[in-house]
Amino acid sequence: MAILKVARMGHPVLRTPTEELTRSQVRSAEVQRLIDDMIETMQEYDGVGLAAPQVHAGARLAVLGLTPADEGTAGKPGVTVVVNPVITPAGEAKVLGWEGCLSIPDLRGEVPRFTSIHVEALDRQGRPLVIEASEFFARVIQHECDHLDGVLYIDRMQDMRSLTFIREFERYVGTETGAVEE
């Protein structure tokens, strides 16, 4: 396994929509190695998610540092792999929450996201995967899936005045708000 270089805002790979993977591609040694490397990279940088474009890969693939069972628990999180994810909101409710991104280092901003979502995808073995997610887990999934469409969290911000450097965020806003650092 290897720690991969993370693309930063401004690199065209972050603005390019990704390509779907076939089930045989998902099972290939190349994609399995990419998944392992993405997990290691996400963990190295203390992220809660990482999308393939962030490591210069054009695949419709993301790794999440949570599983549905982790939602709302204080235990050590697991890892969920989503391939070709399709998100459907499970209601109209949205909430503002703080987000950060490994591709936009040192910044945070408030982003509106659906509070509950339904996700259909493939898992790392190419099998169908269905996830019902809410709150923080739903936010993480939406953030990562945006990357697969070439969208960054700053594109979703309603008010750019909330954009802040992490140091000032920690000093003036506080960490109790549960910012997403992916």
In the chain the first and final C-alpha atoms are separated, in Å, by 20
Q: Quick check: is 181 catalytic?
A: no
Question: DSSP for 63-108?
Answer: EES--GGGTT--S----EEEEEEEEEESSS-EEEEEEEETTEEEEE
In sequence order, which residues have a C-beta less than 8 Å from that of residue 57 and are 6 or more positions away?
34
Which of 99, 110, 144, 182 is catalytic? The answer is: 144
| Sign of the alpha-carbon torsion through 15, 125, 117, 181 | negative
CA angle 93, 97, 103 (to 5 degrees): 125
- Lateral strand order in the sheet of 49-51: 49-51, 61-64, 80-89, 116-122, 128-134
- Are the C-beta atoms of 77 and 67 separated by less than 8 Å? yes
Catalytic annotation, residues: 144
